[in-house]
Amino acid sequence: MPRTTRPRSSRRRKRSYHHRDLRNALVAAALDALPEVGAAGLSLRDIARRAGVSPGAPYHHFRDKDALLAAVAGECAQHLLDALEAAVAEAGEDQRRRFQLTGISFIRFAVMHPAHFRAMELPGMLTKMPKETRRRFDQFYEEEGRRMREAQRDGVIAPLPFDRLILAATSLVHGLAHMIINGATEVRPGDVEHAVQIARDVTAVFGAGVLPRDPK
């Protein structure tokens, strides 16, 4: 009896990627999966399925799940670092402007890269970034923290408790970023220009405070 084969159209097809493209496709699939399954629930088999490749394909680039998570965390951090470094370069030595522009740049990052933003917000993800990226991240925030304290001593920024000042600012930009990318504001998805304008307005309110001004 002659052997029968399934028609080609019914066979399960696997996508083919060039070497570098496969790595990027796996990272992208992980970014999409993380908000749904979390870091603990991520598996290379599931990521292979989402990327449309064989179960063994991820092992050409990642020895295990932790290596994939490190790549995802590194890519997220790199996008954010690029945004933050561009902000302080634009602001120059004006520390109040640096403070505001880093907040605005964080929101711009979230709107431009919502999957990266959501992945970074997951518990423990930042601890998984590669050591060199972590070092750069820490250096950036240490330098900006030093500048902020110096600006407080010089009377440029209010002498509020430093940790509470940073917590308040961080809560504002993280909260606004979440609201924008989750559709809780009038900003249309992906409308970076509108999101940045909203971020400017809101950070300006934070900078001015809400206490009444002396009309004189």
Per residue of the chain (216 residues), what is the pLDDT tens digit?
444 444 443 334 455 555 568 999 999 999 999 989 999 999 999 999 999 999 999 999 999 999 999 999 999 999 999 999 999 999 999 999 999 999 999 999 999 999 999 999 998 888 898 899 999 999 999 999 999 999 999 999 999 999 999 999 999 999 999 999 999 999 998 899 999 999 999 999 999 887 787 665
| pLDDT at residue number 8 | 43
Shortest CA distance to 88 belongs to which of 134, 165, 144?
Answer: 144
Shortest CA distance to 109 belongs to which of 85, 129, 135?
Answer: 85
| pLDDT at residue number 54 | 93
| pLDDT at residue number 20 | 61
User: What is the C-alpha separation between 49 and 96, in angstroms, rounded?
Assistant: 48
**Pair of tokens at residue 203:** 């950070």
Tell me if 150 sits within 8 A of 65, measured CB to CB: no
| pLDDT at residue number 209 | 85
Q: Which residue has the tokens 């606004």?
A: 176
Q: Where in the chain is the domain with CATH 1.10.10.60?
A: 15-63
CATH architecture of 15-63: Orthogonal Bundle (1.10)
**Pair of tokens at residue 202:** 């809101």
Query: How far from chain centre, in Å, is Cα 55?
Result: 28
| pLDDT at residue number 14 | 53
C-alpha distance from residue 50 to each of 37, 45, 91, 175 (Å): 13, 9, 42, 30
Q: What is the pTM of this model?
A: 0.83
CATH T-level topology, domain 80-208: Tetracycline Repressor; domain 2 (1.10.357)
Q: Where in the chain is the domain with CATH 1.10.357.10?
A: 80-208
Shortest CA distance to 71 belongs to which of 23, 6, 104, 108?
Answer: 23
